[in-house]
Chain A
Amino acid sequence: MIEILQQIINGMAIGGVYVLIALGLTTVFGILGIAHFAHGSVSMFGGYLTFFLVVMWGLPLALAILIALVVGFLLGVLIELLAYRPVRNANHINAFIVALGLTMMVEGLNLEFFGHEQVVIPTDFSRVFNIGGVTIPELRLYVILAAALLIAAMTIFVEKTKTGQAIRAVAENRDAAILMGVNVNTIPLVVFSISTALGVCAGVMVGALFAIAPGIGEGLVVKGFAVLILGGLGSIPGAVVGGLVLGITEALAAGFISSAYKDVIAFVAMILVLLVRPQGLMGKA
C-alpha cells in the first residue's frame, strides 16, 4: 500500500509538468488548430534562462523565475506574430512546417546559448518529509503545489474572466465569437503568451527537479500531445486529468511492471483508453 502511494506521489511531480505543458498546447490548439511543436523547446528556454539568471547573475530564484515569466509572455507574443500569424489563413500544412522549423530553431538557440550539458537550477530545498513511510522531498512537494496553483489559476482565468471566456468562445466557435465583438487578432496573442508562460513554469520545474538538456523539451512536447489526445483535444480539464493520469501511469508501470518499457506501457494504456473513449477522457463526443 505504501509502495502504491509512494508511486502515485512519484508520478504526480512529472504529471504536474505534463499538465502545464499540455495546458499550453491545448489552448493553442483550441484557438488556432495548430500543433505547436516548438512549445517544449520554448519551455526549456524558460528553464535555461532561469538557470542562467540564478547561476551567472546570482539573482534570487524567485526574481529569476519572475523575469523568465515576463520573457515567456513576450516570447509567446513574438512567436504568434512572427511565426504563426503569417500562415494563419494558409493551408494547415504551412503552420505544421512552421512549427517544426521553429522547434529546430529554438533547440538550436538553446544549444548555442546554454551548451549541450545538462543544467540543474539550484534551489535550497533539500529537506525530505516522511509521512508514514511515504517520502516526499521538499522540492517535489513545492513543484506539485505550484502546478496545482497554476492549474487553479488557469481554470479561474478561463472560467471567470472576460478574456478567458473569450478564449473559450473563440475555441468553440470562431465566427460566433467575432459576432460577440471578440477581437480574434488579439486573442491568439493572449493565448500564446499565457501558454508560453505556463511552459516556462514547466521548464523551471523540470530544471529544478530534474535537469534541462538538449532534447528534453522535444520529449516533453511528445508527452504533452499524448496528454492532449488522452484528455480530449482542446479540453482544459482533459489536459489536467490526462497529464496526471499519464504521469502516474508511468510511475506505476515502471514500479510494478517494467522500468524498461514504462513509456511503452503508458502509451498502450493511452491507446486502450482511446479505444473505449475515442474522444479522450474529457473530450465531448
Chain B
Amino acid sequence: MLKVSDLRVSYGPIEVIHGISLEVKEGECVALIGANGAGKSSTLKAICGLVPAKAGTISFEGQDITNQSGHAIVRAGITMCPEGRQVFPQMSTVQNLRMGAYARSDNEQASDLEDMMNMFPILRERAHQAAGTLSGGEQEMLAIARALMARPKLCIFDEPSLGLAPKIVAEVGATIERIKKMGKTILLVEQNSLMALRLADRAYLFEAGEIVLSGTGEELQSHPEVAKAYLGH
C-alpha cells in the first residue's frame, strides 16, 4: 500500500534521513522504533508532505506521491495523528473533529462524529470545551479521533503515548488495537517500544537516520540488541 524507497530528508544542509526503504501492506500494522532523534518523525513528515524528500520515492496505492502537497496526500487517503497531538487549541472538541473531516465531501460526517463520541465518551463530555483546555490524555484521544474522522486508508500515529500517565498509555494502546481490529492500515511510531512491538505485525528499527533492523514484531522483541537497548531487559 505504502512504499518508501531510498528516502533522504534534510533540514537545510543537514541530512537526517540517509536513504531508507520501508513498506506497509494493506491491513498491516507497522511500527517504527528507535532512539530520540533517530529520524522517525522526519520520515513520517516526508510521507505526509510536511517536509520535502530530497531523494527517493514514496508511493501510495501504486501512485507516486513524492513531494506532493500535504493536502493532496490527505485526499489520497493518508492521515497522520502527529507527535504532540497538535489539536487546534482555541477551537472546541467538536470543531476539531469536524476539521478532521475537512477533506471529505460526503454527507456522513455527522454520523461519523456521533461514532467518535461513542468510541471516546470523554469527548462527548468535553464537546464544546476549547481543545487547549483538555488534559493530555483527552487531547490524545481527540487527536486520534480527529485523524479517524478523515476515514483514512492509512492511519499514521506519531508517538501517541508521549508524555502520558501509564494508565492512559495503556488506554492509547487499547485504542490502537481497536483501530487495527477495525481493519485500518496503521503506521505507528512509538518510544514505548514494547507496546509498539506488541501491536505491530512488522517493525523497523531506526538508528541515526538509517534502518538497521526489520522483521515481525515478535522477531524484533526477541532480538537481543533491541531487547537490551529499547525494551530495557
Contact = CB atoms under 8 A, between A and B. Distances in A.
Interface of A: 162, 165-166, 168-169, 172-173, 175-185, 284
Contacts of B86: 173, 175-176, 179
Nearest to B100: A180
Given A175-B86, A176-B86, A181 B91 contact: no
B71 interface: yes
B88 A181 contact: no
A177 B49 CA distance: 12
Contacts of A172: 88-91
A180 B82 contact: no
Q: Which of B69, B89, B99, B103 has the most CB of A within 10 A?
A: B99
Contact of B87 (A165, A176, A178, A184): A176
A168 B91 contact: yes
B88 to A, nearest CB: 4
Q: Which of A172, A176, A180, A183 has the most CB of B within 10 A?
A: A180
A284 B90 contact: yes
B56 interface: no
Contacts of B48: 178-179
Given A178-B70, A179-B74, A284-B90, A165 B50 contact: no
A182 B90 CA distance: 18
Contact of B69 (A162, A165, A183, A284): A183
Interface of B: 48-50, 69-71, 74-75, 79-80, 82, 86-91, 95, 98-100, 102-103, 132, 146-147, 150
Contacts of A182: 71, 102
A185 B49 CA distance: 14
Contact of A179 (B82, B89, B98): B82
Contacts of A180: 74, 99-100, 102-103, 146, 150
Contacts of A284: 89-90, 132
The 7 closest A-B pairs by CB, nearest first: A181-B103, A181-B74, A178-B70, A176-B86, A172-B88, A183-B71, A180-B102
B91 A178 contact: no
Contacts of B79: 179
Given A165-B98, A165-B99, A168-B91, A179 B69 contact: no
B88 A162 contact: no
Contact of B88 (A168, A178, A183, A184): A168
A173 B150 CA distance: 18
Given A165-B99, A166-B102, A175-B82, A181 B69 contact: no
Contacts of A179: 48, 50, 70, 74, 79-80, 82, 86, 147
A170 to B, nearest CB: 9
B74 A165 contact: no
A283 to B, nearest CB: 10
Nearest to B96: A169
A165 B149 CA distance: 15
Contacts of B100: 180
A176 B82 contact: yes
A180 B80 CA distance: 9
19 contacts: A165-B99, A165-B102, A168-B88, A168-B90, A172-B90, A173-B88, A175-B50, A175-B86, A176-B82, A178-B50, A178-B70, A179-B50, A179-B82, A181-B71, A181-B103, A182-B102, A183-B71, A284-B89, A284-B132
